[in-house]
Amino acid sequence: MQAVRLSDTHLRIEQIADGVGLVHFNDYFGKGRSVDTEPQAFLVNLETPGALLKVHMHDVDQFQVATRGNGRIGAHDWQPVSVQYADAFTAYGPIVRGDLGLSFHTIRMAAGGGNWKMPEARSLMVNGRPGRNVTARVDPTQPLPPPGATTREYLVSPHDDGLAIAVLRLGPDARCDGLEPAGGQYLLVCAGALVQGDGELPTESLLLVRAGEPAPRLEAGPQGALLLVMQFPRPSARKGSDPSTMGNRAGSYVSVANHITPLNP
Amino acid sequence: MTWSIPPGARAFTVELARTGRHCNVAADETIVQALERIGVVVQTSCQEGICGTCLTTVIEGALEHHDQVLSDSERAAGDVMCLCVSRATSPRLVLDL
């Protein structure tokens, strides 16, 4: 298991055309726009009022979690803490920044190879049909359990291939085992903090559990912890589900590369 | 949401072949909204006819497409539709749901 605090992330600033504007990215895992088979997770901060990401798709399975501000994804309100999962080659959006701003985590088990806009990209869909596109919301204001106690709730019950979304609530100083990772798993600290060694993993820390690793052993700090568990599907013959088959993709970001202007190294 | 139901839209009935359920789609509502009213939730995203999330197989009925997803040949075949924006021009529409 690897863990990264928001304060330890790398800041990447870009100006993106096509209605998106200025974006501050916080890279937790992976190397920004690099296309490889390693896990990739970053926080997207839409800085420009009225920012809009048009309906699009990616070539990898992906979770996205709204963690600050407000807005919408497609026709659905998107407020903290809302989570969306889309299979590879499944279009979603548009994502629209609300008047409070909008920040969301993008989470993948392999780096995305591009951003393909709809409807032009429909030919990339499997048999012209979309895959799974599910949303769920966690209420971050719900009280945590008493000291030492834990609860587990599935927002999306495990699918046959392991896809699942769960919430773990740990009371102050509580300990528990996480879920066995299927195709890999991320845990986002939505409230409170976890204990790691001599330090803490505060809110907006992100933990990565790779496929084949044991379920993580978790320990809450004195204020407890609210964890969102995002469980990826196991690799299969489904297009875009198996990171080990993605090594032959182009070495540069596809489709929107000429619309992006990096503003820092 | 920027899409709106076109003026002059007419009401029709939707039947769900797998469950036998049916409902009326009023002139001022979409098929997605009508199905939600009877507790049938259709997977959607954009609800503007762009993303294709709600593409559904049509078993019977004449269609009026308002999406930007389907090809000309798919429109002509009339066996698939986007439930968020498209409508029936026949009084009865049967879906593979």
What average pLDDT is seen over chain A? Answer: 92
Q: Distance between CA A34 and CA A31 in Å, rounded?
A: 5
Say yes or no for a CB contact (<8 Å) between B46 and A125.
no
Give the pLDDT of residue A147.
Answer: 98
What ipTM goes with this model? 0.76
The percentage of residues in chain A with a pLDDT greater than 90, rounded to a whole number, is 75
pLDDT digits (tens, 9 = 90+) for A69-89: 999 998 889 999 999 999 999
CB-CB: which of A74, A132, A134 is closest to B51?
A74
Structure tokens at A152: 């587990």
Residue of B nearest to A75 (CA): B46
Number of A:B CB contacts under 8 A? 61
DSSP string, chain B: ----PPTT---EEEEETTT--EEEE-TTS-HHHHHHHTT-PPP-S-SSSSS-TTEEEEEE--EE---SSS-HHHHHHTSEEETTT-EESSSEEEE--
How far, in Å, are A82, A128, A138, A184 from residue A155 at the CA level? 11, 28, 8, 18
CA angle, corner A60, sides to A137 and A205, nearest 5?
50
Q: Does B56 touch chain A (CB under 8 A)?
A: no
Say yes or no for a CB contact (<8 Å) between B51 and A130.
yes
CB B67 within 8 Å of CB B82:
yes
Who has greater pLDDT, B53 or A248? B53
CB-CB: which of A122, A125, A133 is closest to B45?
A133
Structure tokens at A250: 């182009």
CB B85 within 8 Å of CB B48:
yes
Determine phi and psi for A55, rounding to 5 degrees.
-55, 125
81-100 in chain A: CB under 8 A from chain B: 90-94
Q: Taking every pair of C-alpha atoms in chain A, what is the biggest distance, in angstroms?
A: 53
Q: Does B47 touch chain A (CB under 8 A)?
A: yes
Lowest mean pLDDT among A125-129, A157-161, A256-260: A256-260
Say yes or no for a CB contact (<8 Å) between B52 and A118.
yes
Q: Could you say which DSSP state residue A216 is in?
A: P
pLDDT digits (tens, 9 = 90+) for B20-37: 999 999 999 999 999 999
CB B83 within 8 Å of CB B49:
no
Q: Could you say which DSSP state residue A146 is in?
A: S
Q: How far does the CA of residue B25 sit from the closest CA of chain A (Å)?
A: 20
Residue A249 clears pLDDT 80, i.e. is over it: no
